[in-house]
Amino acid sequence: MRPEEAFFAVGDIHGCDALLGRLLSKLEELAHPTAKLVMVGDYIDRGEQSADVLRRLRRMQADAGPNLMICLRGNHDQMLLDFLEDPQSFGMRWFRHGGLQTLASYGLPGVAATASDSAWSDARDRLRDRMEDGLEDWLRGLPTSWQTGNVFVCHAGADPARPIDAQRSRSLIWGHPDFDTVPRTDGIWVVHGHTITERARPKDGRIPVDTGAYATGRLTAALLETGKVQFFST
């Protein structure tokens, strides 16, 4: 692998702000001041501290600048945006996959599946009231990928049959059925989260960094430099 610049790729956080703080402290101890920080998405849901994670990431990116810290969009981040856009259509799907924990992190209850449309709209409006100013716009502006050299970073994976610069955003956010089984033939390495792995290691052009923080207590980052990758976990 030949990234044009060194960078850390941090796996799915899923509302585990305490683990994120511990991992960032560990990365700071490595004293690698030129390495960028790339977050692969899924900042919310499942864990109990989603609101804290979002506050921390926005503050860090504002301090570092968007060229030094890149935050990508994951499917859970997208489900929150879908809920804000159309709570009646997308609310229950989000709740089933951890949205209730995100609401709770803002001090809000869930909504019954049989609730009226107005109840769903009220829940959306209450969440918007609790979210920090500009947070929704920040989430909507998150990119779906980032690339340096022959290393491509996205949340869920890429379609191995399509050129890397012609990927569909749905594949990058939600995954592609061939991603885990069909190697790419263009020499591109894909760093990704989304699918929990017990052991983070490079294989067949793929570098997974999601070690299931909310379930395992292990939040992982990969340091990628020319010709090598190192993994660090809480």
The enclosing domain of 183 has a CATH number of 3.60.21.10
Q: What pLDDT does residue 70 have?
A: 98
Residue with tokens 């885990």: 180
pLDDT digits (tens, 9 = 90+) for 61-103: 999 998 899 999 999 999 999 999 999 999 999 999 999 999 9
Q: Is residue 103 part of a domain?
A: yes
Residues 147, 210 share a domain:
yes
Residues 158, 126 share a domain:
no
Residues 170, 203 share a domain:
yes
Residue 34, beta-bridge partner list: none
Residue 54 CB neighbours (<10 A): 26
Residues 148, 66 share a domain:
yes
pLDDT digits (tens, 9 = 90+) for 155-182: 999 999 999 999 999 999 999 999 999 9
Domain's final residue, options 121, 137, 153: 137
Residues 100, 20 share a domain:
no
Residues 20, 65 share a domain:
yes
Residues 179, 129 share a domain:
no
Q: Is residue 17 part of a domain?
A: yes
Q: Which phi and psi (to 5°) does residue 185 adopt? A: -115, 10
- Using a pLDDT cut of 90, give the percent of the chain over it: 96
The model carries a pTM of 0.96
Task: Assign 33 a pLDDT band (cuts: 50, 70, 90).
Answer: confident
Contact 144, 152 (CB under 8 A): no
Kindly state the DSSP code that residue 208 receives in the 8-state scheme: E
Whether residue 194 has pLDDT greater than 90: yes
Task: Assign 11 a pLDDT band (cuts: 50, 70, 90).
Answer: very high
Rounded Cα–Cα distance for residues 197 and 191 (Å): 13
Residue 30, helix vs strand vs coil: coil
Task: Name which of 24-38, 73-87, 117-131 the model is least confident about.
Answer: 24-38
32 vs 16, which has greater pLDDT? Answer: 16
Q: Is residue 224 part of a domain?
A: yes
Contact 25, 169 (CB under 8 A): no
**Domain range enclosing 129:** 77-137
Residues 192, 98 share a domain:
no
Q: Is residue 106 part of a domain?
A: yes
Q: Is residue 2 part of a domain?
A: no
Q: What pLDDT does residue 31 have?
A: 80
Rounded Cα–Cα distance for residues 215 and 197 (Å): 12
Q: Which phi and psi (to 5°) does residue 206 adopt? A: -120, 140
Residue 152, beta-bridge partner list: 147, 190
Residues 107, 15 share a domain:
no
Q: Is residue 1 part of a domain?
A: no
Rg of the chain, C-alpha, whole Å: 18
Q: What pLDDT does residue 66 have?
A: 86
Residue with tokens 């796996």: 11
Question: How many domains is the chain partitioned into structurally?
Answer: 2
Residue 30 CB neighbours (<10 A): 13
Contact 17, 53 (CB under 8 A): yes
Residues 153, 65 share a domain:
yes
